[in-house]
Amino acid sequence: MTADAQTTRIHSFADDALGEHDAVALAELVRNGERSPRELAAAAADRARAVEELAAVAYESYEQPLLPAEPTGRLYGVPTFVKDNADIVGMPSNHGTQAFQGKPAREHGGYARQFLSAGMTVLGKSTLPEFGFNATTEPPFAPPTRNPWHTGYSVGGSSGGSAALVAAGVVPIAHGNDGGGSIRIPAACAGLVGLKPSRGRHIDSAMARKLPINIVSEGVLTRTVRDTAAYTAAVEEFWRNPALPPIGCVEGPGSKPLRIALLLENVGGPVPTGPVRSAVEKVAATLESHGHRVESVPLPFDAALETAFLHYWGLLATFVASTGKIADRSFDAGRLDDLTLGLRRHFLRSAWRLPLTLYRLRAAAATYERALGPYDAVLLPTLGHETPELGYLSPTVPFDELLDRLRTYVSFTPINNITGTPSITIPAGLSPSGLPIGVQFAGTRGNERTLLELAYLLEAENPFPRLVG
């Protein structure tokens, strides 16, 4: 473990089998016989133990990691963690709650099989806030998951544990899922790459298939664009939706000039002057220097869509609280955290509005297509402001106050969950306090390839900040 007393940064990078390699490089070492999957898994386990202070691991299986059954897959032998809401054989799924105690899964979940097809070794489960509802990973019954860039700050949510483990160097890639920004928010907080794929791009989890509108996408958090691209290609080889254009293996920036929309406002108005706006404007200038045309556009949605999303968010909390007993007899709704219970109350106060909520959410895709479809991509902030300190978004904050804070902070990411369109966040520098800032590229449904090409361009032009080196 390496830490700095002044910045309270913490990481596990070391002169071991993992080194500072990304997943693609480690897979190449395994293919060449220079490293073995067990050797890499052992090094990752040692690193995880060295940074336990981050509180990023929900369940560990270091002594008996889940090794791939066959020596196949683009990322064969690379160690990883799976978020604690996806079923992996022999490991419990506790969904970040104390309302029940999960039992070891008897079989892999649907998406887990696709994830494992890449050939990675699973060392355990990463932490998340209760049922993924919060934008920070701070369970009231356990230590908060800390940001490796500054342990006094949030690492985001809901894929917070995965973000902390990847940023700190424990593993180069880890699983996440995104129902309102849950891959992109922690990626932005931790200086990582996080792609939210198009709706239908992958095999959905059983829970996602039950939703009236499926807003959840599965994916990974990585330190390099090529790792995200390699993973995307790997799982596409396992299963591809014929209704969407193939992505293939994207290996660098595109060559044609693009027309890119610049979105710098949310329902609360323009993004104020400061580090977030400056980061987006710097990226816009970089794009223009490469011949891309960047045009400012107004937000094509009003506050009614935000209200609908909040109502739907409350519906999901109500579903969990009401049906948990069916899934597990030990489920105790009285042990749910205050955010989940508050979201349920928020929904029940106006449950009669659900048909209108669903109508507005479904209509948003057409609005997005009309306003932003003519563009090759959209450039926008990932978050409404800089990463907050631990406690600011804690579920122990009074519900109405917490909801107002979340509405300001998570003001951009839900758009692509609602519309089913892809979005990728990439690091765009550091704030004055030394914390990463992320920006997003979004596109029309099925256009992940263009987003990855743009991410490659920005990575080459403005190398991502790192905790070491």
Catalytic residues: 83, 158, 182
Report the length, in residues, of the chain. 469
Contacts of 295 (CB under 8 A, 6+ apart): 259, 260, 261, 262, 375
- Backbone angles phi and psi of 328, in degrees to 5: -150, 120
Q: Return the H-helix or E-strand segment holding 288.
A: helix 275-289
- Backbone angles phi and psi of 147, in degrees to 5: -85, 120
Report strand pairing: 57-60 vs 121-126. Answer: antiparallel
CA distance 181 to 217: 10
CA distance 141 to 92: 18
CB distance 233 to 220 below 8 Å: no
Measure Cα distances from 84 to 69, 100, 224, 300, 361 in Å.
Answer: 22, 13, 23, 35, 28
Tokens representing 225 are 């664009």
CA distance 418 to 295: 24
